[in-house]
Amino acid sequence: MSTDLVLLAVLMAAVTYPSRALPLLAPGIERLPSAALLYLRLVGPAVLASLAAANTLVVTGPGDARSLQVGVETVGVLACLVLVAWRRNLFLGLVVGVGIVVVVRAAGG
Amino acid sequence: MASTGSDRPDLAAARRQLLLDTAGIAVAVAGFGFVFGLAARNAGYSPIEAAAMSTIGFAGAAQFAAVGYVSAGLPWLPIVVLTLVLNLRHVLYSASLAPHLRHVPVLHRAAMAHVLTDEAFALSAAHFHRLGRTDVGGYWIGAILGVFVPWNVATLAGVLAGGAVPDPTAFGLDVVFPAAMAGLAIGLVTGRREAVAAGSGAAIGVVASLAVGPALGIMAGGLAGPLLGMATPPGRSAAPTVHSGIPVHAEAPIPLPHDEVDVDEALEELGDLPPDDGGDGPASRGATP
């Protein structure tokens, strides 16, 4: 059984781990100025919203061509968003959001 | 409903909610892990190689990219560089969680870093916020049960099962990830500053993704959004909201552990916030532990 690609997995981990670990392991994080701590507090909503929006609205096609897409996926994500904001229940939001997409796609939409 | 007597849920109630959130994400992670396993097998990976990618590399989108590159016979260097770029955004997650985990022993933090993914960050940030303090056990619940275990078990299942690679979009799995991230982001929006950070982060993320690609575009949104949030005056307090039976005060930020200084309190002391401005300072915030 081949194990050649295990080394590639190690190399991928070697370039991924520092991104995940360095700030977490950096000493003196508690001595950051209050403005820096406020910034870090706002990173959460900003980066998750950025991740969600880019994954929903930006499509990468052949040749790395990128385009804006507003389709049933957007409707599904927005439905989830509204439900979570209203009911504060992520699971319900996911079920409804994905359900909308599955039904519309099954219907040929 | 269990409660601490303040408007914060107790640990058991918060973890029940965390498990519910984790379950939804675990299903999607398992689906994609299975597809990765199938794709890896079709690309010629052995089960050991596929498992190594998912346990050691544990790099989601980069693993899928690697499958394509390996099957095309491309050299490893572009794969490693692409992995670096795709995963740079983890710096933001790590930096954002660092103040809350500073009391955790360094080796423990080093282990936590390996499983710090988009989903693990989103789940733990929402959980800490809901709970009103850091919960290291909760971090592991989200990271291990929500991502690491389903991803790895499903990878093995896929690479051992073989067969054609199904299209995840047929099951709507492609929507679960952005919907979950959006839902968890909205759970962190507790005031005007967070709303502006999230809204501008999303807008900048989309525009920058169109311009330079999603890997860097998402980072741009995550870096610039908070700056606009900081430039926004803090909003007024809102009534406590309910999260599946768990009340959460709408203006309370994630408190820092132990004796750490609350950011708004510190800003208020510095004179940024008048003490009775109706903002999200301690006077207008709900009782926190």
Residue B72 — pLDDT band, cuts 50, 70, 90?
Answer: confident
pLDDT of residue B1: 40
**Which B residues 103-132 touch A at CB under 8 Å?**
106, 109-110, 112-114, 116, 118, 121-122, 125
Q: Please answer yes or no on whether A13 and B56 come within 8 Å at the CB atom.
A: yes
A87 Cβ contact list (under 8 Å, min separation 6)? A93, B244
- Across chain B, mean pLDDT equals 81
Predicted local distance difference test score (pLDDT) of residue A69: 93
The structure tokens 């099962």 sit at: B161
Rounded Cα distance, B289 and B283, in Å = 14
Confidence bin at B241 (pLDDT 50/70/90): very low
Whether the CA torsion B67, B70, B73, B79 is positive or negative: it is positive
CA angle B198, B23, B106 (to 5 degrees): 70
For B269-289, how does the pLDDT look when each residue is reduced to its tens digit (9 = 90+)? 333 333 333 333 322 222 223
Indicate the burial class of B65 (C-beta count within 10 angstroms; 0-12, 13-18, 19 or more).
Answer: middle
What's residue B273's pLDDT? 34
Chain A residues within an 8 Å CB radius of B76 = 8, 11
Judge: A24–B101 Cβ closer than 8 Å, yes or no. yes
Rounded-to-integer distance, Cα B209 and Cα B230, Å: 23
Least confident among A5-19, B61-75, B135-149: B61-75
All residues of chain A having their beta carbon less than 8 Å from the beta carbon of residue B188 are 44-45, 48
Structure tokens at A89: 């229940």
Residue B153 has pLDDT above 80, yes or no: yes
Q: What ipTM was assigned to the predicted interfaces of this complex? A: 0.90
The whole model's pTM is what?
A: 0.78
The C-alpha atoms of residue B132 and residue A96 are separated, in whole angstroms, by 28
DSSP state string for B184-212:
HHHHH--SHHHHHHHHHHHHHHHHHHHHH
- Residue A108 has a pLDDT of 81
* Radius of gyration over every alpha carbon of chain A, rounded to an integer in angstroms: 20
| Mean model confidence pLDDT for chain A | 92
Q: What is the pLDDT of residues A74-102, one digit of tens each?
A: 999 999 999 999 988 888 999 999 999 99
Phi then psi dihedrals of residue B61, to 5 deg: -60, -35
Q: Which residue has the higher pLDDT, B168 or B204?
A: B204
Judge whether residue A24 has pLDDT over 50: yes
- DSSP for A34-78 reads HHHHHHHHHHHHHHHHHHHHHHHHEEE-GGG-EEE--SHHHHHHH
Per the model's pLDDT, the better-predicted residue between B260 and A54 turns out to be A54
* C-alpha separations of B71 from B11, B40, B162 in Å: 47, 9, 16
Q: Phi then psi for B248, rounded to 5 degrees?
A: -130, 125
- Chain B residues near residue A90 by CB distance under 8 angstroms: 20-21, 24, 180, 183-184, 187
pLDDT value, residue B7: 62
Q: Where are the domains of chain A?
A: 1-68, 70-109
Dist CA B81 CA B176 (whole Å): 27
Q: Tell me the β-bridge partners of A59.
A: A67
Query: How does pLDDT run across B190-205, given as a tens digit for each residue?
Result: 899 999 999 999 999 9
d(CA B49, CA A3): 6
> In which band, very low, low, confident or very high, does the pLDDT at A109 lie, cut at 50, 70 and 90?
low
CA distance A89 to chain B (A): 6
For residues B81-92, average pLDDT: 92
Query: Residue B59 and residue A19: Cβ atoms within 8 Å?
Result: no
> Given pLDDT bands bounded at 50, 70 and 90, which one contains residue B8?
low
- How confident is the model over B107-116, as pLDDT tens digits? 999 999 999 9
CA distances from B78 to B36, B68, B215 (A): 19, 12, 15
Q: What is the pLDDT of residue B60?
A: 87
pLDDT at B165: 75
Cα B44 to Cα A3: distance, rounded to the nearest angstrom: 11
